[in-house]
Amino acid sequence: MRLLALRNGQKALILYSQIWGTRMRTISTSFLPPIALDPSKQSPIYRQLYEWFRQAIVAGQLRPGQRVPSTRSLATELKVSRIPVCAAYEQLHAEGYLETVLRAGTRVANSIPDDTLNAIGTDSNSALRASSRRIQGRISRRVATMSERPETWLTSLVAFRVSLPALECFPTKVWSALVHRHLRRQTRQMMAYGEAAGHWPLREAIAEYLGAARAVRCEPFQVLITTGCQQGIHLAAQVLLDAGAHVWFEEPGYPGARQALRMAGAQIVPVPVDEEGLNVAEGIRRDRRARAAYITPSHQYPLGMTMSASRRMQLLNWAARSEAWIIEDDYDSEFRFGARPFPSLQGLDVSARVIYVGTFSKVMFPALRLGYVVVPRDLVKAFTTLRDASDQFSSTLYQVVMTDFIREGHFARHIRRMRILYMERRKALVEAIRNKLNGDLEVVGSEAGMHLVALLPHDANDVAISANAKEKGISVMPLASCYLKRCVRPGLILGYGGTDARQIDQGVRTLKTLL
């Protein structure tokens, strides 16, 4: 590194070093802070010059109106050809950093605001630190009401990870073949913008499937494609709720849904669940005027009970009378092992109060990012508009492939296979708990889904056990994380969908050491 001058230039040099790294040739002109050029860099000389001037103007080292050398003298001083200097000046002119005044030569544009330089020309680290202290007050209030997801929720694949399907049993070959079929002959239409409401043939296929399997009553145009349950709840919250609106929420309930509701500014009204599901009478007592209720009637999350018929009707009745909305999250209703599947609440509703939310994340695989929401006909437009405003539409290729997957019978076949597998895994987990952890854990909930709740003794600390479990390489969610208020009874949420027999056995052993 050759230093030709350092007049007033220590700061510029440091600034410059940060940008260009250390291996550079530093040169000053008679008029300017030192200019550092590095001929060995990939970036051409004109670009380095341009960057240097821009930086110097922004940082306030060159002030508005200050003269800069002519291209000829700068080239001479820097011992470079005049061509890159002209190119740099040209660009700086084009962008308004420099201006040429008749008979006065080239100077820093007077239009550059002077106070800018002081305001933004400070050390960027201290500015960042200062803004960090103040940042909470300058972002939206809704952010402050939301909590970060617990880490156990994230990308882990270890034993008992909740919501994870048996990915190793997914018919990858069939799926790849279908993807490949469409990828090879991908049309412009498939690559272009798609409809916010979704790919029509998929909407038809879902309407048919939901009618047969879940007694959902709808026309295909009421089925809107989403990226999964989370987006379904998010859109429902945004369409239906103003900031401050009260929403009944199962206590304990699904934290992800709480996040989406809070994002819309909703006020959560916890309503306890018992063995019949959400206690509607208690909800009415606590807040008759709520604008909506969020429920998981087929398989309550996390406790696992099914909402009784009378509660269903009480809820529909309340919604119809008070013109409130019901967000029915039917996230894993495909998997019911004992009795026949309980039909959806939506199918009982004749007052068009129910938003039915479903997903392919559990039946297929989470990274597919496809789900659906079935909405009353009057709300189709509002949901479509808000989907468009939030992220436009879902990836077309997977929608097309999913349609084939359903139409060609792979979907029904895969559900049947997984239902048997999950039934076995649940049985294995329940037995392992009974044999190895009897007295410590009490399994609750109906025989359904991909997870179960095991209650702990009243004095246990589920949050601490969950943290310890993570260190031992298993993922157990504390029941406390699903309570808004005080947790009634500590417990662990254990996913078994993506946990095979060997992992169940080892996982329960690990759990034994923690209790």
170 near a second copy, rule: CB under 8 A: yes
User: In this structure, are residues 232 and 371 in contact, taking their beta carbons and an 8 Å threshold?
Assistant: yes
What is the number of residues in the chain?
515
Q: How far apart are CA 335 and CA 416, in angstroms?
A: 9
Name the one range near a second copy by CB under 8 A: 27-35, 335-343, 421-429, 469-477: 335-343
Phi and psi based region of residue 181 (left: phi greater than 0; alpha: psi -120 to 50; beta: remaining): alpha
Which 3-22 positions form the footprint of a second copy (CB under 8 A)? Answer: none
305 near a second copy, rule: CB under 8 A: no
Comparing CB distances to a second copy, the nearer of 8 and 176 is: 176
298 near a second copy, rule: CB under 8 A: no
Which 41-70 positions form the footprint of a second copy (CB under 8 A)? Answer: 51, 54, 57-58
Q: Figure out which of the listed residues 2, 103, 138, 485 binds a second copy, where binding follows CB under 8 A.
A: 138
Tokens found for residue 367 = 């990274």
208 near a second copy, rule: CB under 8 A: no
Rg for the chain (alpha carbons), in Å? 31
Q: Fill in the per-residue mask, 384 to 413: x = in contact with a second copy (CB under 8 A), - = not in contact.
A: xxx-xxxxxxxxxxx---------------
150 near a second copy, rule: CB under 8 A: no
141 near a second copy, rule: CB under 8 A: yes
Q: How far apart are CA 158 and CA 143, in angstroms?
A: 30
Q: How far apart are CA 480 and CA 471, in angstroms?
A: 19
169 near a second copy, rule: CB under 8 A: no
Torsion angle defined by CA atoms of residues 211, 217, 219 and 220, in that order, rounded to the nearest 10 degrees: -40
Tokens found for residue 104 = 């006065």
Comparing CB distances to a second copy, the nearer of 402 and 456 is: 402
Name the one range near a second copy by CB under 8 A: 131-139, 422-430, 434-442, 454-462: 131-139
Amino acid at 45: I
- The minimum distance between CB 266 and a second copy, in angstroms, equals 10
How far does CA 122 lie from the centroid of its chain?
A: 35
Q: Figure out which of the listed residues 101, 128, 412, 464 binds a second copy, where binding follows CB under 8 A.
A: 128
238 near a second copy, rule: CB under 8 A: yes
Name the one range near a second copy by CB under 8 A: 22-30, 167-175, 426-434, 450-458: 167-175
* 373, β-bridge pairs: 224, 357
Closest of 153, 177, 494, 170 to residue 363, by C-alpha: 170
Q: Figure out which of the listed residues 365, 437, 447, 487 binds a second copy, where binding follows CB under 8 A.
A: 365
